[in-house]
Chain A
Amino acid sequence: MRNLFRIYLEKPELAGIALLVILTGIFEVRSNGVFLGADNVRGILGLLPEVGLVSIGVTVLMICGEFDLSVGSVFALTPMLAAVLMERDMPFLPAVLIGLAVAAGIGFINGVITLRFGIPSFITTLGMLFMARSMTVVISGGFPPVLPDELPTWLFTQFIGPGGLIRVSFIWFVAIALLVSAMLSLTNFGNWLKSTGGFLEAASSLGIPVNRVKIICFMLSSVLAGFGGLIEVLRLGSPLPSIGEGLELQAVAAAVIGGTALNGGIGTVLGAVVGSLLIRVIDNGLVLTQVDSNWFKFAVGALTIFAVVANARLRRAARGIRIETRA
């Protein structure tokens, strides 16, 4: 049992990886080899970065003990704002940077309101979910703005690699995942972040600037959501005000399926990636194996509950555990 606890804490994403392998095997067999065919893999990996980036941000925020339900709306607002600015002849780069800065601002506001008034971030960001969505629709003016023709879209959506298997967005995704992962495990900031979510009182009594740490995580979550939305809009070619609806819950599901604890302190970037990939695989696999695809949400929901129950049981079991001493 102690070993299970250690494994859960050090590699919380392991169960998700095992499930991923099993499901991939099942879908591959049941689809007669179509599932792992180049075309299908291209489809799965092409969509992964958009959800995956959101999940990474949400996971990091959950590790430090907070939630963000506004990511789905920020996912729509950031590219909408950039598109509206570009329609008014602003060049690509500044428009995108302003969009991301607004996303960061929303994260900042989420954090400050949550901490200043001591309310659950669940509620703050639920409010922000509606407000940011509303702003998205308002600035779109009812009609999605038309993106200019000359955009560096290739920087995000071009297929590359052997057989054009991946999009450039996948490289962005991997690079960001590696950076955030290194931040978590190799820097002192990562130490502060995990301690903030792991045991807030201990962290603050040791002088960790817990509020600043949390606000940075709120901002990271928001910016990654905005960036994910930008990639999706560049792929679709048009900024729809409705994109990202329900994405916040998928991101929480991905985090939890990847082993992130609901009450903070535990979780990894790899877990977020595995969780997002599992959701994409289930979505895609159900279609390929001709199961009614309306079962998709059912499967994700069931998996989420299962993951939380399993994690909670491991935690409870861990309380009884004592390490032996040598003396």
Chain B
Amino acid sequence: MTPIIECRGVQKWYAGVHALKNINLAVQRGEVVGLVGDNGAGKSTLIKILSGVHQPEAGAVLIEGRPVVLRSPKVAMRLGIETIYQTNSMVPTMSIARNLFLGREPISLGIGGIGLLDQARMRRESVQAIADVDLHLRSPDALVGELSGGQRQGVAIARAMHFKSKVLVLDEPTNHLSVKETNKVLGFIRGLKPQGVTGIFISHNIHHVFECCDRIVAMARGEIVFDSPVGGTNIDHIHDLL
């Protein structure tokens, strides 16, 4: 089967640091992959390439078998790759509805892409999108600054689902969260699979990865050092490896 997303021989340097050395990784549709590894292993660099923030110096990214140039986050999003970062990708001073549609607002009377917001539709659809990830908030007009960290990640996931992204990348989405909030976010991630969304979940907590992924990929010093279905390995083995 053609992988939904694939990296072939991807390399990346940062001013002398060889951050990614010949990365080959293929993810199948509907798979939830856990990406683990120590600090500085290159996980964030890899997903920044997938989300269009950085461009690789060598190698290629393929979406559904076709090579793509992910020139910017906008391009990556248009191709269906949505990324949720550890530092939240929500604007705290704006409402949930406005955050959910940020950069993809439904407009009327527009010229050159600028126009009047269809605010009724934004409210209606964001209520639906949030309910779809099993998050229940009072009102789409609540400010994101009023939400807990876990709820914010929930809204970010709802946003990705609403725009029907093919691949959802989560870079340490549970960092800085309390245990309770972390469990909430893990719940959202487990909810991806039944909806057929492909996920790449980065975490340095191996327990979390075992809890919600199908497959584990471990990185060290810019290379993939381990790749196996969750069923074919155990936590201790991965601990030893890292």
Instruction: For the complex, count residues of A whose C-beta is within 8 A of B.
Output: 33
Residue of A nearest to B118 (CB): A188
Q: Are A186 and B116 in contact (CB under 8 A)?
A: yes
Q: Interface-forming stretch among A19-27, A162-170, A194-202?
A: A194-202
* Least distance between A109 CB and chain B CB atoms (Å): 23
Contacts of B239 in A (CB 8 A): none
Chain A 309-327 near chain B by CB (<8 Å), digits 1 or 0: 0000000001001111111
A188-B117, A205-B85, A208-B103 known; A323 vs B91 contact (CB < 8 Å): no
- Most chain A C-beta atoms within 10 Å of own C-beta, residue among B74, B93, B113, B143: B93
Indicate which residue in A188, A189, A194, A324 contacts B93 across the interface (CB closer than 8 Å). A194
Q: Are A322 and B145 in contact (CB under 8 A)?
A: no
Q: Interface-forming stretch among B13-21, B61-69, B132-140, B214-222?
A: B132-140
A194-B94, A195-B91, A325-B136 known; A205 vs B73 contact (CB < 8 Å): yes
A191-B105, A205-B83, A206-B77 known; A323 vs B117 contact (CB < 8 Å): no
Q: Are B147 and A195 in contact (CB under 8 A)?
A: no
Q: Are B94 and A322 in contact (CB under 8 A)?
A: no
Contacts of B174 in A (CB 8 A): none
* Least distance between A313 CB and chain B CB atoms (Å): 15
Contacts of B147 in A (CB 8 A): 322-323
Contacts of B90 in A (CB 8 A): 199, 202
Residue of A nearest to B138 (CB): A326
**Is A153 engaged at the interface, CB distance under 8 Å to the other chain?**
no
**Is B229 engaged at the interface, CB distance under 8 Å to the other chain?**
no
Compute how far the CA of A284 lies from the CA of B151 in the bound complex, rounded to whole angstroms.
50
Q: Are B138 and A266 in contact (CB under 8 A)?
A: no
Contacts of B136 in A (CB 8 A): 325-327
Compute how far the CA of A202 lies from the CA of B137 in the bound complex, rounded to whole angstroms.
22
Closest 7 CB pairs of A and B: A207-B74, A188-B105, A327-B136, A265-B93, A198-B91, A206-B103, A198-B93
